[in-house]
Chain A
Amino acid sequence: MSERIDEKWLDNELRRVVDGTTPVFDAESWKQKHAREFEALLRRSEQPDQSGTRRTVRLVLRASMGKLAVAAAVIVAAGTLLVGRFGLGPGRPVMAPQSVDFQSPARIVSMIAFSAAFRRGGIDELDRQCDRALERLGPRPNGVSMQELLKDISGLERERTSI
């Protein structure tokens, strides 16, 4: 076959090939054929309308400021939760008292021990911790030098070069 053709010819041929007579949607026939799906659509009119709330949430989440606000709210909530659970100070829930049977004089007067006492029972418990330390260690005898006392507190065995 040999013939000269142009774009118009091609367009006409394409119209023939695609057989493009207007398809008409027969709604009644479709509703009968897909009754279950159409019923599902109609049933939505009986359900409470949540689209307003959903749309508000969607709009808030779509806006960048909205996203930031939501993120900030989550961080604040998480922070409040953490402070409530692990917060410092005498106001927080009191944990079960731990043994005060310290292994060494250094432990009994360490900052950790005092801090733990304060957290356990506030200033009263700190006072009691001091009493326990005094009771355990007693007044420092004149014969014990400050250097020797500090050696125990620091817990180090290294050689001292000076006081």
Chain B
Amino acid sequence: MNDRADNVLVEQAAKGDGDSFTELCRRYYGPMVAIGHAILGDRHLAEDAAQQAFAKAAVHLPRLRKPEQFGRWVAAICRNEARDLARTRQEPRLDDESPVTTEGQTDSDESCRIVKEAVGRLPEEAREVVFLRFYDGLSYDQISAVLGISEQAINGRLRRAKQRLAQYLRRSGFDEVDP
């Protein structure tokens, strides 16, 4: 993935190289959409938040003191953008309790709805790591680059998130959840 290291791209982009910046956007678009989706609960809004974050990053790139931490920096911008969007649009979020079972809905749909509800009830930090991990199977390296934590810490966060999900699912009628 990293033909050229992030810090090289950031330094070139900061000098006005548009191609380097575009390459950075390509690298981090997936993780940014995952972060936005974890906050907004909507894929399209998440893409808006990610693109807005890159726009801000383009303007403020020279302020980035540690080019090797671009991922972490742009993730922080993306979180703020997503929170702003969530405040202004007042769209239903993942943790809203709105879905109701309809006629003809299969067990699979029902379990998906309950899992979605359970994910929505996770704290933002835990929900974020779940989205990053399951969004097209982002690697631990990619997740680490945007969260700024070690692989071990990511694993710990993910395990705790799954335990919380399992607790919720047990309360919702699933016999045994053993993550």
Contacts and interface: CB of A to CB of B under 8 A. Distances in A.
Interface of A: 1-7, 10-11, 13-25, 27, 30-31, 33-34, 37-38, 40-47, 49, 51, 58
Contacts of B137: 20
Contact of A17 (B110, B115, B136): B115
B107 A1 contact: yes
14 contacts: A4-B175, A6-B176, A7-B162, A10-B162, A10-B169, A13-B112, A17-B115, A18-B119, A20-B134, A31-B18, A37-B55, A40-B59, A47-B16, A51-B15
B130 A14 contact: yes
Interface of A, secondary structure class, is: helix
A58 B114 CA distance: 52
A145 to B, nearest CB: 79
B154 interface: no
A62 B115 CA distance: 48
| B interface, over-half SS | helix
Interface residues of B, number: 55
Interface of B: 11, 13-18, 21-22, 25-26, 29-30, 33-34, 37, 43, 47, 50-52, 54-56, 58-59, 61-62, 65, 107, 110-112, 114-116, 119, 130-131, 134-137, 162, 165-166, 169, 172-179
Given A37-B55, A45-B17, A51-B14, A16 B176 contact: no
A30 B135 CA distance: 21
B173 A10 contact: no
